[in-house]
Amino acid sequence: MDRHTRNVQQDVRELGALLGDVLEDQTSRSAFETVESCRQAAIDYRSDEIETRDPLVGELEGLSPHHQRVVARAFTTYFELVNLAEERERVRTLRSQSQAGVLEDGLEAVAAELGDRDPETVRRVLDDVLIEPTFTAHPTEARRKTVKSKLRTIATHIETLDERLLTDKEKRQVWRDIDAEVTSLWQTPQVRSRQPEPEDEARNVQWYLENTLFDVVGEVYDELDDELKEALADHIEVPKLFEFRSWAGSDRDGNPYVTPAVTATTLERQRSVVLDRYRSQLDRLTGVLSQDGSRIEVGSAFQESLDRDRDRLPGTARTAEQRYPGEPYRQKLELMGERLDRVGDVRPGGYEDADELRDDLSVLAESLRANDAESVADAHVDPISRRVDTFGFSLASLDLRDHQQKHTGAIADALEREGIDYRSLSEEERVEFLTDAVLQDEPVIDLSDVEALSSESARVLRLFDDLADWQREYGTDAIDTYCISMTEEPSHVLEVLFLADQAGVVSLPEHAGIDIVPLLETEYALSGARRIIGTLFENEAYAQALSSRGGTQEIMLGYSDSNKENGFLAANWSLYKNQRRLGDICADHDVTMRLFHGRGGSISRGGGPMNEALLALPNDTVSGQVKFTEQGEAIAEKYGNPRIAERNIEQMLNAQLRARLDAIETPEEEVHEEWIEAMDMMADAARNEYRDLLDTDGFVRYFEQATPITVIEDLNLGSRPASRSDERTVEDLRAIPWVFSWTQSRCILPGWYAIATGMDAYLDAGGSVDVLREMYEEWPFFRTTLDNAAASMSRTDLEIASLYADIADPDLRDRFFPRVSEEYERANDLLARISSQDSPRTRERGENLELRNPYLDPLNLLQVHLLEHDDRSDLEERTLRLTVKGIAAGMKNTG
């Protein structure tokens, strides 16, 4: 039986036709014909019907500013609608493959693999795994929230058409509603008029957690439980496997707008959101659990729990008994609801933490099972318990983050008042001082006294003072991690431990209320991992803090800045080697390592399919616990649609369970010494070439002239400034606008540049293509690295990129563009020789872009035309910014 009434071609065709009608209605027939003329000229060129782009270029350059804007809006809206059609096709494919039992990377497959192992191994794998997707505070989402909301409504209507059997009248009504939404979308401003605030970013993250993930997670647990029951002879209880975290509203690194007040508001809103969701779940459960108390035996544990609640809340108990006489489960749920309502309230009786709610649900489920109502417990109570396990009372735990220089400066300023010249101390002296200060009972500084301190130092001290209050109010789990950007010395970590100790968040040896997470992102920090991490593990104060946190050390790896500093190939190799090095250091000190992968949405910033990335990690680094950032348009793509969100979570879980099983059975990954030597040689040559390109005089000016970086900096994508300083340097530019700019110009240099130079250096030194092919076939790291480079190259279009290069000063263009083009062509040839053929993922992306290119070309050419002129009118400036949004939608990527 066909479960769908439509296909992607029909969706694209009908949505495109509807857009054409709206365009004509909202503008004019001539405007519609202009857009059609541009579209046809682009198609004719891409299909070799005509030899040059001159007709398209002439059409665009001859347009009035008004018609230029209509063209930009038309193609931008087209891509937004086409993206919905492709999302719907992904859902169709998932449903069809699931029904046919051929869904790859799903839970059935991993359950079958675990079914071949002994029960102890299965229990160990499940107990070890904890997956922590972390939503970042720099979403880089090119679309406005209002636009996303309208697109989501259209997507819901398309789902209705596709999955329901409708009468002709009902179909007409649905299409009328789609028409109304597309019309409204056309009339809605696409470009933000103001910079989003941190609260906006926090609400954006909360939307996905509340409206998609809260419901989906329970379904994933249910499916895994069912599959394990089928595959295993003995029933094994599935433990907590997921926990969601967020930086939105708490990440201060480079963002002066994230104040303590913002963090407090975020904590309060997240708790309110999740408690409301639990309350609605209990209300629905009340409708289900209508059992007659005279016909069941609730059991002593349930009765004792009910009696305690009656004593705790006598007024509510009387109301519950009057409302539900003789119905003990409903009485209990009424009391549980009241306890939820009193969380954070001045009135007594509220739940102290999520564990108490989970205990009540457990007692309820046990009573139901004792009364032969196991199916009721399975279907209605257990899913709520899973959600409480996953989301607690915080929805998503917040990570604090700031730059190490801020902590050093604040401590130095505060200690100066105590007569201590912290700035003049050597690294060893700083470590000794901080250790002694943490271990002594008396405080050294008063965090609440910020008079005469700089604003930055006062901000840091207030934050730690407030942290103690937040943990008391919302629970330690709500905000229990502190990440330190640009960690390069042991003292940078001990400084945060010292500040937390002065705040009372840490009281050694009994209690440490935070995990302190060094972010290693520079080559100096990564290569000095043993110096940094080893020193900490051997430090008396830090060892006590680590012990009180269960002996698990979280270490964050910065993919973005590492790539921007070293180039794609060298950065990937450095990260791989240093992950193994970190694993060795933790093993030497009997510490469990949790790697936190600071991945971006784009390939160059660590992006790509998460399941492939997890399976490509070195075995000796896979402890079972893993954390990674989710950001930008990837959040909407992965978690906007519930079915796609469920699929992504299943794939993550499949990959991490398999990776942990493999690590247990094969602790040391077999990597031939010949492969390591080859990678060392390739990475060194690639790094030198990449750094030489960036350090060549004039390159920064070329980048500024040959990409729309100046436009992107003013796009109001996020609350954080685009640059760390007012200087135009690659080092100071943040990784997101760096990648975004190259993506817009279709020269995605950060995702592949210097890979050819690296491989050529190896081959010129006597290396063999056959060895590289062997590495590709047998080594997941190397295969994933090359596949990701190929994916970036498939999205690169040098013919379009050359038009952007032509905007630059002629001497700069002649110096850099041929160099970049030659590297690209050589890499293309080498990758084809090594991998023999494109990977399925690369082929799919290439084919998809072939279909999109005729619609991207008018936007790119219009953007180039507008960038060529410095004296743009306000209307032309708005159109230019709109082309950035349209190209991002067409490429399905920003940075």
| Catalytic residue list | 138, 564
Number of H helices, E strands in the chain: 41, 10
For residue 1, what are its two tokens? 């039986």
**Alpha carbon distance 293, 851 (integer Å):** 64
CA 472, chain centre distance (Å):
29
Query: Residue 296: helix, strand or coil by DSSP?
Result: coil
Distances (CA, A) of 627 to 134, 176, 664: 7, 44, 19
The per-residue DSSP string of 428-453 comes to: HHHHHHHHHHHHSSS-SS-TT--TTS
The per-residue DSSP string of 99-142 comes to: HHT--TTSHHHHHHHHHTS-HHHHHHHHHH-EEEEEE-S-----
Direct distance between the N- and C-terminal alpha carbons of the chain, in angstroms, rounded to an integer: 42
552 CB burial (10 A radius; 0-12, 13-18, 19+): middle
Residue pair 535/427 in contact by the 8 Å Cβ criterion:
no
Neighbours of 254 (CB within 10 A): 19
517 CB burial (10 A radius; 0-12, 13-18, 19+): buried
Distances (CA, A) of 557 to 486, 520, 560, 618, 628: 10, 5, 9, 14, 9
Name the nearest CA neighbour of 506 among 467, 463, 554, 450.
467
Phi then psi dihedrals of residue 253, to 5 deg: -65, 110
**Alpha carbon distance 571, 577 (integer Å):** 10
Name the nearest CA neighbour of 410 among 484, 469, 519, 511.
484
Residue pair 523/562 in contact by the 8 Å Cβ criterion:
yes
Residue pair 236/119 in contact by the 8 Å Cβ criterion:
yes
Sign, CA dihedral 134-136-137-141, equals negative
Q: Are strands 397-403 and 245-246 parallel, antiparallel or unpaired?
A: parallel
Phi then psi dihedrals of residue 598, to 5 deg: -85, 75
Query: Residue 817: helix, strand or coil by DSSP?
Result: helix
Nearest-5° angle of CA 594, CA 480, CA 725?
85
Q: Which residues contact 497 (CB under 8 A, 6 or more apart)?
A: 434, 438, 506, 516, 541, 542, 545
Sign, CA dihedral 754-755-756-761, equals positive
Residue pair 487/516 in contact by the 8 Å Cβ criterion:
no
608: left (phi over 0), alpha (psi -120 to 50) or beta: left
For residue 794, what are its two tokens? 């498939």
What pairs with residue 597 in β-bridges? 557, 628
Q: Are strands 506-507 and 481-485 parallel, antiparallel or unpaired?
A: unpaired
Phi then psi dihedrals of residue 453, to 5 deg: -90, 155
**Alpha carbon distance 567, 603 (integer Å):** 12
What pairs with residue 481 in β-bridges? 399, 515
Neighbours of 523 (CB within 10 A): 16
For residue 123, what are its two tokens? 């229990």
